[in-house]
Structure 1
Amino acid sequence: MSKIRFGVWAPVHGNRAAAQDPLEPYDASWAHNRDTVLEAEALGYDSTLVAQHTANPHFAERDQLEAWTSAAALAPVTSRIEIIAAIKPALYHPVVLAKMALQIEEISGGRFAINLVNAWNRAEFEKAGIPFLDHDERYAYGREWLSIVERLTRGETVEHHGKHFSIDGYKLSPAGRLRPRPGIYLGGESEPARELAVDHSDVWFINGQAPEAVAALISDVKARPRQGDALRFGLAAFVIARETEAEAQAEHRRLIALAEQDKPAKEIQKANTDPKVVMFQTMAKQAFVGTNGGTAAGLVGSYDQVAERIDAFHRSGVELFMLQFQPLRSEMRRFAEQIFPRLGHSIGSIAPLYSEAR
């Protein structure tokens, strides 16, 4: 069984559970993101996921961190943590994106990965005059796009003539000096997403949901023919861990009540969302806070309960837990202090390293 890894979602558009929380003022600034990732690294977290949005998908007037320039800026100020930058293929030509990925890979010393996501926010594209293709067409586009990026980041000379791209003998350098290529993560649970994950990714991200549902998804994908190393699995989840289950549930209720204040923004998001996106179909079936399934993964309870549930996910095949917290940095520290030791995960410094007065 692979070793458990823990990651933290960077606060690229502020809070994950509720935007109007008196315990955590909204902050999507570069300084807050940098300090969060540096503290996560010092605490012993293994990865950070920098989600990609050009504009805030929830509150049009609020800040939104740009993923790729921020990933490049994180690379030289960190030393151990894996930096995963999300990418929506229609926003970047594959040759340009591959070159950017290789550059951040070099700056980071081989700690960089891309996370291909199938866009769901129609407004992000249409307001910019970028075609927003049908769900399965977006995956077909992403498949062609990723096949080019993967070969270019391996240092191959790429000759490709397909439906969307024509590449004539392109080769990028430097490539392959630190490892064969940067890592590739893929999110999405539709049939095209599963097939693409099997064919072209290293790790498949699953949205937060019950252990039995996650086990069924992993079993389905593992049964599919694949070349090369075995596919690995990650899970998105929002954590609320306390001394007692009652305390954790009380905090969950607090965040649910606060999230009610965000309903107008959620209605705008819903109107802009492609209804064919499986993530939102799954999320609509249950109440939770956080994004990408959030607390639907059930990591709400006493320290022992949360550790036991993580262990159950791990035994079903989940290697990387990409976690959300609120308030982010104090809860991130609490998790490292209380949950890491229960699961045999190495822990770094518990003392807060960076000011939270922002």
Structure 2
Amino acid sequence: MTSPLRIGVWAPVHGPRAAWQDPAEPFDASWPHNRDTVLEAEALGYDATLVAQHTVNPHLADKDQIEAWTASAALAALTSRIEILAAIKPYLYHPVVLAKMALQIENISGGRFGFNLVNAWNRAEFEKAGIPFGAHDARYAYGREWISLVEPLLRGESVTHKGAHFDVTDYRLTPKSPVRARPRIYLGGESEPARALAADHADVYFINGQPLADVKAIIADLARRPRAGTPLAFGLAAFVIARETEREAEEEYRRLLALAAKDAPAKQEQAARTDPNVVMIRSFAKSPRVGTNGGTAAGLVGSYDQVAERIHAFHAAGIELFMLQFQPLRAELRRFAAEVFPRLGRPASAAAGRTIAAAS
């Protein structure tokens, strides 16, 4: 049985997603911009937001970067319906501390919180702070031990553990979630260790944007792995360019691609800070694209009807949650809600319709 289709949006925690020199999207990673974007997304009918975690801006070192977990706590208090997902890199937080933070945001939100476990790729973020940054598979081994402690702590269980990285004795956290067993656990990463970890511990596996055939192959691989409990669900990151006609969408794609080319020097510096063994980075080099985490590789560039049809196809293949990127963010957030939501069988937001009409 196919799960209901859910639509989310990436919070602008470190500025624009496609091009950093876009006159239509001035750089803004401020708290007010993040707050207002998520509040508007909720009002428009979006189901979730993903707050990426970095301590410093991973693209432009001199630019702002929102802190994911304090921002998520604030968003939990300000919103009433939207699911809030905060990314987490295990090396940055002891599992006991992180589990307590997650339970606190779960309680603030009334059961609308989840976290996205990711394997860090930006070496400089760790090394400059003197935080150990292990080899790729060693980071996943650390993450596996880390989540094996976090998960039972989230359930309110008493945990005693002595392993390679952690020594915890009779530790129990309260209060638990007010409405469910624990917050939802998402996991991203394309390598074999990431897939194995998702099969064992995640509720939802996030796939970076890529063509439908590749997504189907990943889903098939994960679906056949042994797993305890409920079946694994799937999410997809994607950058959307939707217009009245395919030609208009392609023109906007070319505009963003040309602007993104101006960021080449900064991207070269970023590449030097990146772990070359990260599968995600190698995948991104296969073809031109705009956006992060696969971006336009998922093919959601076209007319409103085409984009809706492609989302339906991904949903039929097993994608439950679409975590979308747009640029310029706020205008395209409204456009998608007004034009594509109805084509997905979702009601168009009256607020989005009024905004589009006023701008035309």
Normalising by structure 1, we get a TM-score of 0.97
**4+ runs of 1 displaced by more than 4 Å?**
none
Q: Distance in 2 between the 1:164 and 1:11 partners?
A: 33
* Equivalent residues of 1:39, 1:352 under 8 A apart: no
Q: CA deviation at 1:264?
A: 1.0
Q: Distance in 2 between the 1:352 and 1:249 partners?
A: 24
Letter in 2 for 1:25: P
1:332 aligns with 2:333: yes
2:216 is aligned to: 215
Q: Deviations over 1:28-83 (max 9, x none)?
A: 00000000000000000000000000000111110001000000000111000000
Matches for 1:200-239 after TM superposition, within 5 Å: 200-239=201-240
Matches for 1:149-168 after TM superposition, within 5 Å: 149-168=150-169
Letter in 2 for 1:160: H
* Closer/same/farther in 2, CA of residues 352 and 85 from structure 1, 3 Å limit: farther
1:87 is aligned to: 88
Letter in 2 for 1:318: I
2:74 is aligned to: 73
Letter in 2 for 1:42: A
2:320 is aligned to: 319
How well do the aligned residues superpose, as a CA RMSD in angstroms? 1.0
1:295 is aligned to: 296
Q: Deviations over 1:225-254 (max 9, x none)?
A: 111011000000000000111100000000
3-state SS of 2:306 partner: helix
1:134 is aligned to: 135
3-state SS of 1:159 partner: strand
- Percent of aligned pairs with the same amino acid: 71
* Closer/same/farther in 2, CA of residues 352 and 183 from structure 1, 3 Å limit: farther
2:26 is aligned to: 25
Q: CA deviation at 1:345?
A: 2.0
* Equivalent residues of 1:185, 1:202 under 8 A apart: yes
Q: Distance in 2 between the 1:295 and 1:257 partners?
A: 14
Normalising by structure 2, we get a TM-score of 0.97
Q: Distance in 2 between the 1:87 and 1:345 partners?
A: 31
Q: Distance in 2 between the 1:344 and 1:38 partners?
A: 22
3-state SS of 2:101 partner: helix
1:356 is aligned to: none
Q: CA deviation at 1:346?
A: 3.6
Q: Distance in 2 between the 1:130 and 1:84 partners?
A: 24
Q: Distance in 1 between the 2:344 and 2:303 partners?
A: 14
Q: CA deviation at 1:177?
A: 2.6
Q: Distance in 2 between the 1:336 and 1:230 partners?
A: 30
* Equivalent residues of 2:237, 2:322 under 8 A apart: yes
* Equivalent residues of 2:223, 2:232 under 8 A apart: yes
Q: Deviations over 1:313-346 (max 9, x none)?
A: 1111000000000000100110111111111124
1:46 aligns with 2:43: no
2:308 is aligned to: 307
1:145 is aligned to: 146
Q: Deviations over 1:281-337 (max 9, x none)?
A: 111101000000000111000111111111111111000000000000100110111
* Equivalent residues of 2:339, 2:348 under 8 A apart: no
Q: Distance in 2 between the 1:135 and 1:48 partners?
A: 27
Q: Distance in 2 between the 1:82 and 1:74 partners?
A: 10
Q: Deviations over 1:110-167 (max 9, x none)?
A: 0000100000000000000011100001000001001111110100000111100000
Q: CA deviation at 1:352?
A: 5.0
* Equivalent residues of 1:4, 1:345 under 8 A apart: no
Q: CA deviation at 1:95?
A: 0.3
Paired residues, number: 353
2:271 is aligned to: 270
3-state SS of 2:12 partner: coil
Q: Distance in 2 between the 1:152 and 1:178 partners?
A: 16
Stretches of structure 2 lacking an aligned partner (at least 5 in a row): none
Q: CA deviation at 1:20?
A: 0.8
Q: CA deviation at 1:24?
A: 1.1
3-state SS of 2:262 partner: helix
